[in-house]
Amino acid sequence: MSSHPQINTKIDADDKTLVEILDQQKFSIDYFQREYRWERKHIEQLIDDLETAFTNNYDPKHKRSEVENYNSYYMGPLVMSSKEGKLSIIDGQQRLTSITLLLIYLNHLQKEKSLKESIDGMIFSEKYGEKSYNMQVPEREVCFDALYRDGEYELEDDDDESVQNLVERYEDIEELFPEEFKDEALPYFISWLKEKLIFVKIVTYSEENAYTIFETMNDRGLNLTPTDMLKGYLLSKIKDGKKKNQLNIDWKERIAELRRFWPNELEDQDFFKAWLRAKYAETIRPGKKGSSNEDFEKIGTYFHTWVKDKHRLIGLNDTDDFIDFVENKFDFYSKLYLKILDGRYQFNPSLPGVYFTSYYGIATSLAYPLFLAPVNETDDENTQNNKIEMVSHFIDCFAVYRSVNQRTLGQSSLRYTLYSLVKEIRNKSLVELAQILKGKMDEFEEDLSGIYDFNLNQQNKRFVRYFLARLTYYIESESGANSSIDNYMADDIKKPAQVEHIWADVYDYQKDEFEQKSDFQWYRNSLGDLILLPKGTNQSFNKDPYVKKLPHYLKQNLLAQSLHPDCYVKNPNFTKWYKSAGIKFKSHTQFKKGDLQERTSLYEQIAELIWSQKRFDELTD
């Protein structure tokens, strides 16, 4: 470097593999960029992209050395500043942090499979017996240590937003990682990830230059987005200058509305992908090695080009068609999409199912096309809402039925089935939609009896919390109590709900009924032994025997209270409801194996009411 007198003006840019970026490397993070803010949808997209790119090349008949000939996957630029030999990340820490979480998960997974692919050095390096992580943020180290060591971290009250997001995104990776990659394909995938994930590493030697590059890359005004290019194409076909100017103004106002949910991202692009897939796409790529991208995939990458290529399929043949597409269709479906977004972020009594699916369900890239597909421009608002609710309820049932039977909700394994459903429900009436969705539920390969074989583990604890939250919210609402799903699913409240075992993790309390401790543990992790309690409450008496816990339950939510005899004394609304519904609630002064099994049966009865086909009939009346 001494040969460069103007070292501060120097900029290096090289393509680098993931292993070259991370192995034995250390990065500080500029404090302006320090918060880790990825959400579940970003992890969904990352895993789906990686899975698609890898599957296009993977062949189990290959030797592992053949991975060298697989196609690379480009992860974008990383902007770094070098000062006294130390690198600071200016742009790219969200991606690198997420990849680090994925590597930690893969490290646990390969240990379970007794594989020995070395990836530790991409997560941390060790010196004088002490580990330090590649992303050097002191307040995250305890969390990273726990995730690396145990695969889980118990959040503390003083943990910041980034640590909370790290834990939640790690849990998302556990849940979403493809099942088919967990066995024979795993070492191939790890090798591909290390050697074929490509970044452009841009290193400057002054922070001023680094920020100039960063701002230039992220200046929306200097880079035409697919949305901008689509608008340019559509408006270029409109000859009336006055009409074109007005539509341009209307377009920009609507795009600004779409971006209000995620100011630093392009929510408008997600809208166009959902809309075009919902109403126009005809084909999807089969899940086979070497298959070509079809409508579904092309819309996901270059939807502006797809519209241009498929304008006749869309019905864009003359100037009037282009005006109608922008003035009416774009206006209608973008408003509809905004209503769905609002319903996912804030509870709407007209769209409760949309809110539920924001807490648990399928990937948004599959859900949004399903929401939009049946709705027509001629539908009044009530019909629109009922169609969206029907689809929401189907998604909810689909997700719960699969999850309670311990089947994956990974995007790749569902995309073909659910996109076929998008085409099937496209533009259908309420009655037709109800018939189709009830028919699809009849075809489910599983039912809610899977509750009896279900067991809590690290990978499904998010579902367990959702399942218990829905049961609790349902019985409270039906009993006339002032309840909210947020009480049990939200993490940004003072004492968020956590899953509580009714049985303490003390084998001696139950060993008169179990010869093997493993049998005790299995029953302890079954659904009938689980309730929700506020954080801190469950920790305060979780080692106590049941008889000491029982009085505390009477102070909690109605599902927990129902264990106590006094719950049935002065609670007429609850008593009237459960008797009329035919649900076999009862108190338990002791909680033996038989009590636990009765409780599991109770949960099934409530679940059958919540995730029932009757909801479709209610929405057609």
Residues 374 and 471 in one domain: no
pLDDT in tens, 227-263: 989 999 999 999 898 999 999 999 999 998 988 876 5
What would the two tokens of residue 282 be?
């005809």
Quote helix, strand, coil % in the chain, to nearest 5.
Answer: 60, 10, 30
**Which of residues 449, 466, 496 is at a domain's end?**
449
Average pLDDT over residues 572-600: 96
Residues 211 and 233 in one domain: no
pLDDT band (50, 70, 90) for residue 158: confident
CA-based nearest residue to 553, from 508, 598, 501, 600: 501
pLDDT band (50, 70, 90) for residue 390: very high
Average pLDDT over residues 479-506: 93
Residues 136 and 239 in one domain: no
Q: What is the DSSP letter of 9?
A: G
Q: Within a 10 A sphere around the Cβ of 358, how many other Cβ atoms?
A: 21
Is 102 inside a domain boundary? yes
Is 462 inside a domain boundary? yes
Burial 536-574 (b: 16+ CB within 10 A, else e): ebbeebbeebbeebbebbeebbbbbbbbbeebeeebeeb
Is 379 inside a domain boundary? yes
What whole-number distance in Å separates Cα of residue 186 and Cα of residue 503? Answer: 37
Residues 119 and 202 in one domain: yes
Domain hosting 248: range is 226-449
Confidence (pLDDT) at 504: 94
Residues 378 and 510 in one domain: no
Is 1 inside a domain boundary? no
Residues 307 and 417 in one domain: yes
Confidence (pLDDT) at 369: 97
Is 2 inside a domain boundary? no
Arithmetic mean of pLDDT over the chain: 88
pTM, to two decimals = 0.85
What whole-number distance in Å separates Cα of residue 315 and Cα of residue 336? Answer: 21
Confidence (pLDDT) at 456: 95
Side chain identity at residue 124, one-letter code: F
Residues 445 and 559 in one domain: no
Residues 186 and 270 in one domain: no
Confidence (pLDDT) at 220: 44
pLDDT in tens, 186-215: 999 999 999 999 998 888 876 666 556 655
Please state which of the ranges 40-49, 329-338, 498-507, 537-546 shows the lowest mean pLDDT: 537-546
- Counting the structural domains of the chain, the total is 3
Confidence (pLDDT) at 221: 42
Residues 495 and 371 in one domain: no
Q: Which of 240-254, 294-308, 598-612 has the highest mean pLDDT?
A: 598-612
Confidence (pLDDT) at 548: 93
Residues 380 and 479 in one domain: no
Please state which of the ranges 109-113, 288-292, 409-413 shows the lowest mean pLDDT: 288-292
Residues 271 and 188 in one domain: no
Instruction: Give the percent of the chain with pLDDT over 90.
Output: 59
**Which of residues 198, 218, 238 is at a domain's end?**
218
Contact 27, 86 (CB under 8 A): no
Is 347 inside a domain boundary? yes
Contact 89, 27 (CB under 8 A): yes
Cα–Cα distances in angstroms (integers) from residue 314 to residues 318, 423, 530, in the given order:
12, 14, 51
Residues 368 and 472 in one domain: no
SS (H, E, C) 39-103: CHHHHHHHHHHHHHHHHCCCCCCCCHHHHHHCCCEEEEEEEEEEECCEEEEEECHHHHHHHHHHH
Query: Which residues, including other chains, have CB under 8 Å from residue 43's CB and lie 6 or more apart?
Result: 98, 169, 172, 173, 176
**Which of residues 449, 478, 499 is at a domain's end?**
449
Query: Which residues, including other chains, have CB under 8 Å from residue 572's CB and lie 6 or more apart?
Result: none
